[in-house]
Amino acid sequence: MTEKTYEAMERYGRDVRAAFHTPGHKMGLGAHERLRRLLTEEGLRQEVNVTDALDDLNSPTGAIKDAEEFAAKLYGADRSLFMVNGTTGAIQTMVLGALKDGDLLIAPRNAHRSVFGAAALAGIDIAYMSPEINEDFQIIEEVRTETVRKAIEEHPTAKAVLIISPTYYGRFSDIEGIAKVVHEHNMLLLVDEAHGPHLPFVPGLPKSAISRGADLVASSTHKILGALTQGSILFVNEDRVDFKKMAQTAAMLTTTSPNQLIVASLEIAMEQMVKYGKEYFTKLLPLIADLQKGLKKAGFEILEGEDLDPFKLTVRISDFGVSGKKADKILIDKYGVAAELSNLHNLLFLITYADNEETLGILKNSLIDFIKDKEKHGVNMDFPKLPKIPPSKILPRKAFFADFKEVPFKESAGQVSAEEITSYPPGIPLIHPGEVITKEIIKYAKEVHSLGIKLVGFGDHTLETVRVIR
């Protein structure tokens, strides 16, 4: 039996006395004191580049190949590819590997910025679908089957459909229903499942989309499971997808110096879930139910529903006269509680296998104490609402590479954006290159920026100017 990835790394770290290869710290020999505090001595000895003694992520034949096959079996896929450049890399790989120059991709308007990046790289056009809008929480939610059906009827020449399930806020789409519609029209179904790596291990939740009809699924193993940040997996079903082309695309987009610690962490995360996953999550579910019950009793509005992942807790905080962004800062500074995401209206808390009665108790007590003291936080109930999706005027790739000029942002209404404006997290663009800037978007961007919401993608981070198509 081939040794595990981490076993090969342990052996290499133990056997090599003098390394004459990258990285420059030479297996920790020259590591700075601060770096030593970040990594253990053992970790530094194993933080080596690709050598003949270790498997190659971009052309695996040994331990990594076995680990990828192990992961594919766990999730119900034919094949899998380990990724060290996050789910951004996995999404770009599946888009570039499945489509070609001139093809059309149907995707939700709240798709991650990596989808547009892949389209710009490959010369792919995107037809956007409008997902459901939750007016109460002012968030974009899931794409429904009928929305996909309508989009396909409007764009019958599309080659693939991409959806997000679960969404950042934990809402699930009907994967089986959507897959049936997509495949009836000889298209591929691509799923951004960044926030669903735990699904195969939680009793009662939908399983991974790759086992329910999807052709390609990108999963962030580092988000709710125990892999290191940037550790993700791309799952592939071979009925409609050329796996060799997908692997070739992954190698083209991935560094030739992959971090072996991230690679090994993916395998370790899978083994941890096989051994303990069901136990971890089974214990957590009643604790989460008690947490939600306690918060609702205290007066909080919580995002709910049968089609919602319980490990995503969205709390509407604007009811108490304070923005989510300001509440986030207070919770960190006063209580030492850090949220996954804060926007104008809400706080999103990510609950993982690592949580327990103590951590959830800290969260509940801090939130309840926070609202008792809300008078000190200042009142601002006039929060802006999400603007309408702007019209598209130019293909994304053409707009990305077009000549541009800078104009005052406040005077840019009616012009075509040459840059992406994104609120991050979650990395969902407010406007894409090629879309028409509207007065509503200008007003919204200015207002959220003044309230502390981070907008990235501007050439001018002050929001005084914006790049538009010349």
Residues 172-216 have pLDDT tens digits of 999 999 999 999 999 999 999 999 999 999 999 999 999 999 999
Q: Which residue has the higher pLDDT, 10 or 200?
A: 200
Question: Is residue 459 over pLDDT 80?
Answer: no
Cβ neighbours for 32, distance < 8 A, ≥ 6 positions apart: none
Q: Give yes or no: residues 100 and 113 share one domain.
A: yes
Confidence of residue 18 (pLDDT cuts 50, 70, 90): confident
Buried b (16+ CB within 10 A) or exposed e, 281-315: beebeebbeebbebbeeeebbbbeeeebbbbbbbb
Mean residue pLDDT of the chain comes to 90
Query: Do 219 and 294 fall into the same domain?
Result: no
Position 390 scores a pLDDT of: 87
One domain for residues 65 and 146: yes
Residue 184 falls inside a structural domain: yes
Contacts of 178 (CB under 8 A, 6+ apart): 143, 145, 148, 161, 163, 189, 213
Total count of residues recorded for the chain: 470
User: What is the CATH classification number for the domain harbouring 339?
Assistant: 3.90.1150.150
Could you tell me the CATH number of the domain that includes residue 161?
Answer: 3.40.640.10
Domain assignment present for residue 383? The answer is no
Residue 382 within any structural domain of the chain: no
**Higher pLDDT pick, 447 / 340:** 340
Answer whether residue 254 is part of any domain. yes
**Could you tell me the CATH number of the domain that includes residue 463?**
3.90.100.10
32 pLDDT tier (thresholds 50, 70, 90): confident
pLDDT of 292: 97
Quick one: what percent of the chain has pLDDT higher than 90?
60
Q: Which of 345-354, 427-436, 450-459 has the lowest mean pLDDT?
A: 450-459
- pLDDT exceeds cutoff 60 at 379: no
- For residue 126, the cross-strand partners are 105
- Specify if 65 maps to a domain: yes
Is residue 346 in some structural domain?
yes
Q: What is the CA radius of gyration of the chain?
A: 23
Residue 311 has pLDDT above 70, yes or no: yes
**66 lies in the same domain as 4:** no
Position 400 scores a pLDDT of: 83
Q: Is residue 384 part of a domain?
A: no
**Pair 169, 207 in one domain:** yes
Instruction: For residue 354, give its domain range.
Output: 278-377
137-163 per-position pLDDT tens digit:
988 899 999 999 999 999 999 999 999
* pLDDT attached to residue 386: 76
Within this chain, do residues 78 and 28 fall inside the same structural domain, yes or no? no
- CA 459-460-465 angle, 5° bins: 105
Residues 222, 204 share a domain:
yes
Q: Give the residue with greater pLDDT, 54 vs 84.
A: 84
Q: Where is the domain boundary, 377, 407, 423?
A: 377
Q: What digits encode the pLDDT tens for the residues 263-308?
A: 999 999 999 999 999 999 999 999 999 999 999 999 999 999 999 9
Q: Same domain for 222 and 137?
A: yes
Per-residue pLDDT at 88 exceeds 70: yes
pLDDT tens digits for 108-127?
A: 988 888 998 898 888 888 88
* 221 CB-contact burial (10 Å; exposed 0-12 / middle 13-18 / buried 19+): buried
State mean pLDDT over 413-419: 93
Distant-in-sequence, close-in-space partners of 106: CB < 8 Å, separation ≥ 6:
126, 127, 128, 129, 148, 151, 152, 155, 158, 160, 161, 162, 187
- Out of 238, 272, 306, a domain closes at 272
124 plus 230 within the same structural domain: yes
Q: How high is the pLDDT of residue 353? A: 95
Residue 385 included in any domain: no
Question: Could you give the CA distance from residue 6 to residue 372 in angstroms, rounded to a whole number?
Answer: 49
Domain finish residue from 377, 411, 446: 377
The phi and psi torsions of 262 (rounded to 5 degrees) equal: -65, -45
Asked whether residue 36 falls in the same domain as residue 91, the answer is no
Give 236-271 pLDDT, tens digit per residue: 999 999 999 999 999 999 998 899 999 999 999 999
Count Cα neighbours of 281 within 13 Å in the Cβ-side half-sphere. 21
> 314 and 343 share a domain?
yes
Predicted local confidence at residue 424, as pLDDT: 59
Number of domains comprising the chain: 4
pLDDT value at position 377? 56
Dihedral Cα 291, 292, 296, 302, nearest 10 deg: 140
Residues 323, 254, single domain; the answer is no
